[in-house]
Amino acid sequence: MTRYIIRRLLQAIPLLFIISLVLFILMQNMGDPLATMGGRKVTRREDRIRLARQLGLDKPVILQYVYWLVGNDWAKTDMDGDGIAETPGSRKGVLRGDWGISLVNRQPVMEVIGDRLPNTLLLMLVAEVIVISLAMLIGIYSALHQYTAADNIITATTFVFYSMPVFFFALLAMYFFAVNFKKWGLPYLPTVGMFEPEIGKTTAQVAWHMVLPVATLSFGFIAGYSRYIRSTMLESLGQDYVRTAKAKGLPRLEVVYIHALKNAALPIVTIVALDLPFLLGGAIVTERIFGWPGMGRLFLDHVSRSDTPVVLGILMMIAVAVIIFQIIADVAYAWLDPRIRYK
């Protein structure tokens, strides 16, 4: 098993290099980060040349990529424009843990991302807990009541939710629970931000502000997972060992929740592990609509201003998360199902 994990990690390294190189080249041609640096005024020509030189944007793409990767403290740069490279670089490069400096606000990338990451993780983890528990409940219920009226209604509803675009759900939810509840004088849900500025960032405020974003983030996953759990539960309920358990007179609860669910849950563990990093992606639209200060909004803001270091930082972080969760999914599967062996 250890050898398997090590091999998977080694295989991931070239993959990450390729992804980062391709994204880096894409980012370089995406727009002009210098255009907005002059504030409201158009950046002057001489400022533009000076800034490009100081930020190293005048170098060939491949050299910029090498600097991003391994740093430039071994090379000298020409800072004052006299044609002589005299100042040694100060960057250490990604491989030594230096993700560079944001072109927008000159803060280290790790700080910029670190400010936002907890907000997104909070949203994601709460959503994930709700998704798993609700999907389990709904899926098991409809598997145990297959083809009853309740099951058919659940099936139709999950299909509708599964197909509904995130923004449409979000807008409908906002319209009902914020706009109309306010109109009717009921306690209404807030739609923007993490807390009311005048009250401050208290736990109650954040929780109250999280209701709509979490609901938006989770509804599609609840629909998808509950269908999946229903079908795996139905499959394992039809197995011989379940019949044996029933035949020897075990209580129904024990048969369903211990014998059947244990085996039905196996593929779900894999799916959850593989989807978890993708929740970060689903959060883009949600965070935009609800003004949630997380990674998705950070990504949008910095893509629109062509801030290569921050955008690459976010993307590479997600890529690493995806790879790690893939390995975790494989390992968890083998651990839960002793029939599976990796070589």
Partner 1 sequence: MSESTLSQPTKGVVSLTPDELETPPLSLGQLTWRRFRRHKMAIFGSVILLLIMIYAFGGMLVFSEADANRTETGARLQAPSREHPFGTDTIGRDILARTIYGGQISIFIGLTAMVVEMVLGISIGAMAGYFGGKLDSVLMRFTEAVLIIPQIFLLLVMAKYFAQSIPNIKVIGRTLSGSVLVIIFVIGITSWPYLARIVRAQFLSVKENDFILAARATGTSTRDIIFRHILPNSIAPIIVAATLSVAAAITLEAYISFLGLGVRPPTATWGNMLEGAYNYVDSAWWLWFFPGLLIALIVLSINFLGDGLRDALDPHSRAI
User: Counting contacts by CB under 8 A, is residue 178 touching partner 1?
Assistant: yes
Could you give the CA distance from residue 48 to residue 34 in angstroms, rounded to a whole number?
7
Q: Where are the beta strands (DSSP E) in 260-334?
A: none
**Count of H helices and E strands in the chain?**
14, 2
The token pair that represents 228 in the structure block: 């999946």
Find the binder of partner 1 among 113, 131, 136, 170 (CB under 8 A): 170
For partner 1, which is the closer residue by CB, 138 or 245?
138
SS3 60: coil
Tokens of 191: 């739609």
* Rounded Cα–Cα distance for residues 108 and 119 (Å): 19
Q: How far is the CB of 232 from partner 1 (least distance, A)?
A: 10
Q: Which of 89, 108, 193, 224 binds partner 1 (CB under 8 A)?
A: 224
Torsion on CA atoms 127, 131, 132, 137, rounded to nearest 10: 140
Amino acid (1-letter code) at residue 204? A
Query: Minimum CB separation from partner 1 for residue 255, in Å?
Result: 23
Residue nearer to partner 1 on the CB measure, 223 or 255: 223
Q: How far is the CB of 103 from partner 1 (least distance, A)?
A: 15
Smallest distance, Å, CB 64 to partner 1? 16
Taking the complex as a whole, the smallest distance from the CB of residue 322 to partner 1 amounts, in Å, to 5
Q: Does 79 bind partner 1 (CB under 8 A)?
A: no
Is residue 9 a contact residue for partner 1 (CB under 8 A)?
no
What Rg value do the Cα atoms of the chain yield, rounded?
26
104 touching partner 1, by CB under 8 A = no
CB neighbours of residue 290 within 10 Å = 26
From the CB of 85, what's the least distance to partner 1, in Å? 31
Q: Helix/strand/coil (H, E, C) string of 117-140?
A: HHHHHHHHHHHHHHHHHHHHHHHH
What binding mask, one character per residue, do residues 227-266 give for partner 1 by CB under 8 A, x or -?
Answer: xx--x-----------------------------------
Give the CA-trace dihedral at 136, 137, 143, 145, to 10 degrees: 180
Give the C-alpha separation, 322 to 184, whole Å: 45
Between CA 136 and CA 222 the distance in angstroms is 9
Say how many residues touch partner 1, by CB under 8 A.
Answer: 53
Confirm or reject binding of residue 57 to partner 1 (CB under 8 A).
Answer: no
Site for partner 1 in 120-159 (CB under 8 A): 159
In the stretch 265-304, what mask flags binding to partner 1 with x, by CB under 8 A?
------------xx-xxx-xx--xx---------xx--xx
Contacting residue, 318, 324, 331, 332, with partner 1 by CB under 8 A? 318
- State the DSSP code for 281: H
3-class DSSP state for residue 81?
Answer: coil
Judged by the rule CB under 8 A, the positions of this chain that interact with partner 1 are: 14-15, 18-19, 22-23, 26-27, 29-31, 159-160, 162-168, 170-172, 174-175, 178-179, 191, 224, 227-228, 231, 277-278, 280-282, 284-285, 288-289, 299-300, 303-304, 306, 311, 314-315, 318-319, 322-323
